[in-house]
């Protein structure tokens, strides 16, 4: 079954990747910056924040804007320069408010709950609304459901790479193939 979160790195895969690490390693800062758990909590906060924003904005589908070709090009450009390491984006404070006692069990429970909620929310989501700008990214602009899914997926892959947890994945061809206009 194709759900909203089916494009994302699965929770099982994340659990497998973290299984080889001790709790101390998961909490240790990487290069003096965020720890592995902080990166993953940040990604969870982004997923839940995107969902909350979409739920709020889609209450009045008539107020939503169309997604233009220029927005799709900005999306592509943004992730290409991010992937190439040409820019670094500082995360908003709201997605940096980490729990005092972080642990993998809590992270996976939160992530599972958010993904289940997203899958239920989008299960019968109207196609006409899905094509409109349901989420507003600070640099890209208003993006539709499909681009929102790709944003979450690419954002998580980016953070996994920063943690040295790169999935068996995306080479540049796969990266580009994920964009459809």
Domain borders along the chain are 4-177
Q: What is the third-level CATH fold of 4-177?
A: 1.20.120
Contact 53, 118 (CB under 8 A): no
Residue-level pLDDT, tens digit, the chain, 181 residues: 689 999 899 999 999 999 999 999 999 999 889 999 999 999 999 999 999 999 999 999 999 999 999 999 999 999 999 888 888 888 888 888 898 899 999 999 999 999 999 999 999 999 999 999 999 999 999 999 999 999 999 999 989 998 988 765 444 444 444 445 4
Cα separation, 181 vs 179, whole angstroms: 7
Residues with Cβ < 8 Å from 123, sequence gap 6 or more?
3
Which H or E run contains 132?
A: none
Instruction: Give me the sign of the Cα torsion angle 166, 76, 147, 139.
Output: positive
Q: Provide the phi-psi class of 164: left if phi over 0, else alpha when psi is between -120 and 50, else beta.
A: left
């Amino acid at each position: 079954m194709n759900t909203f979160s089916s494009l994302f790195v699965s929770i099982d895969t994340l659990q497998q990747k973290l299984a080889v690490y001790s709790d101390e390693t998961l909490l240790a800062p990487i290069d003096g910056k965020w720890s592995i758990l902080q990166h993953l909590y940040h990604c969870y906060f982004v997923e839940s924040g995107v969902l909350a924003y979409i739920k709020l904005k889609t209450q009045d589908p008539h107020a939503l804007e169309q997604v233009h070709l220029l927005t799709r090009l900005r999306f592509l450009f943004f992730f290409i320069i991010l992937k190439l390491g040409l820019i670094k984006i500082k995360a908003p404070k709201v997605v940096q408010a980490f729990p005092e006692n972080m642990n993998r069990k809590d992270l996976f429970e939160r992530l599972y709950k958010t993904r289940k909620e997203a899958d239920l929310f989008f299960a019968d989501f109207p196609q006409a609304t899905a094509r409109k700008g349901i989420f507003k990214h600070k640099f890209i602009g208003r993006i539709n459901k499909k681009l929102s899914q790709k944003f979450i997926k690419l954002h998580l892959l980016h953070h996994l790479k920063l943690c040295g947890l790169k999935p068996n994945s995306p080479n540049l061809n796969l990266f580009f193939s994920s964009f459809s206009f």
